[in-house]
Amino acid sequence: MFIRDLFSIKSPVISFEIFPPKKEYPIEVVYDTIEGLEELNPDFISVTYGAGGSSKDRTIEIASKIKNEYKIEALAHLTCYTSTRAETESILKELKINNVNNILALRGDPPAHGFEYKKDYEYAKDLIKHIKEFGDFSIGAACYPEGHIECDSLDKDIENLKQKVSCGVDFLITQLFFDNEKFYNYRDKLIKKGIDIPIMAGIMPVLNKNQIKKMVYLSGSSLPKKFIRIIDKYEYQPEALKEAGIIYAAEQIIDLLSWGVEGIHLYTMNKPDVANRIIGGISKIRCAVTEEKECII
């Protein structure tokens, strides 16, 4: 199934993001993660491509397994900054052979050391054009409610996003954010600019202080005062901080659902137990309202 078709039959669409294990770990470790997430009946699972130092080589293999063995729709992330068109084409062919029809098309970040810019692509939109020329995929792209970290202003970033979307993007997934008001204001701005494709809210539960520092550094996401108070209060009590992080993410999602969000994309960090606490818990609220026996949000 194409993910673009999901939004007309399901609201909200629920997805999980996982990352491939590093090369030194056996690939099987990720199967436990997928099995844990499978129980939550997601609409799709996405697999990152080289993000945070994870392996690029395993994205296709894992996406294929999700689609063909677990029978869950798969979204393969793909970056282009350091790739040639020939390398991209060979990946696109492999994805098609494996029946993986959905791609999150990204520019990617330059690697820290020994970076060789191959100049075949400058921005994600160049990759999106290439995928459209190549064949029929449902294409997602990234967007940034607080602006991309390299861009001078949110308005300029939205102008760039508009160009990207016009190249053939079906849906957007946001960078993580901790303040829902930022997302709501952003959504309004996009509508005013004529960007009205579905947007999935990217939510990351914060489980420890180092993770918060790293994520804020990488994403530029701002921390609301109430969030900072929680971190300050539980900084030296890791279990309490983890619980507070789970509850904070769940509250964010409940608020997004009551607002009428089109999709929730949970950055699971390969922790199905945490996804279960958040999505499983929220699902119970929905079940209580609808009185359906089996329902996930």
Active-site positions read: 17
Residue span 115-154 as binding mask against ligand FAD, x where in contact by CB under 6 A, dash where not: --------xxx----------------x-----x-xx---
Could you say whether residue 107 binds ligand FAD (CB under 6 A)?
Answer: yes
- The answer to whether residue 51 forms part of the interface with ligand FAD (CB under 6 A) is yes
Between 176 and 246, CB nearer to ligand FAD: 176
Shorter beta-carbon distance to ligand FAD: residue 230 or 253: 253
Treating both helix axes as pointing N-terminal to C-terminal, what angle do 180-192 and 154-166 enclose, rounded to 10 degrees? Answer: 60
Q: Going residue by residue from 166 to 195, which x/- string records binding to ligand FAD, judged by CB under 6 A?
A: -------x-x--------------------
- Per rule CB under 6 A, is residue 95 in the interface with ligand FAD? no
Q: How many residues bind ligand FAD (CB under 6 A)?
A: 25
Q: Residue 233 CB: number of other CB atoms within 10 A?
A: 12
CB 237, min distance to ligand FAD, A: 30
Q: To the nearest whole angstrom, how small is the minimum distance from the Cβ of residue 255 to ligand FAD?
A: 20
Position 198 contacts ligand FAD (CB under 6 A): no
Residue 44 phi, psi (nearest 5): -160, 165
Going by their DSSP bridges, the two strands 44-47 and 13-18 should be labelled as parallel
Binding test (CB under 6 A) with ligand FAD, winner from 61, 89, 94, 109: 109
Which CB, 218 or 223, lies closer to ligand FAD?
Answer: 218
Packed helices 124-134 and 154-166: angle between N→C axes, nearest 10 degrees:
10
Region from 2-10, 44-52, 93-101, 178-186 binding ligand FAD, contact rule CB under 6 A: 44-52
Alpha-carbon distance of 187 to 200, in angstroms, equals: 11
Beta pairing partners, 199: 172
The first and second tokens of residue 193, run together, are 């600019």
Nearer to ligand FAD, 157 or 179 (CB): 157
Residue 102 contacts ligand FAD per CB under 6 A: no
For residue 108, state whether it binds ligand FAD (rule: CB under 6 A). Answer: yes
Contacts of 262 (CB under 8 A, 6+ apart): 7, 11, 12, 13, 198, 199, 200
Q: Which of 130, 164, 187, 277 binds ligand FAD (CB under 6 A)?
A: 164
User: Would you tell me which residues interact with ligand FAD (CB under 6 A)?
Assistant: 48-51, 77, 79, 104, 106-109, 123-125, 142, 148, 150-151, 157, 160, 163-164, 173, 175, 202
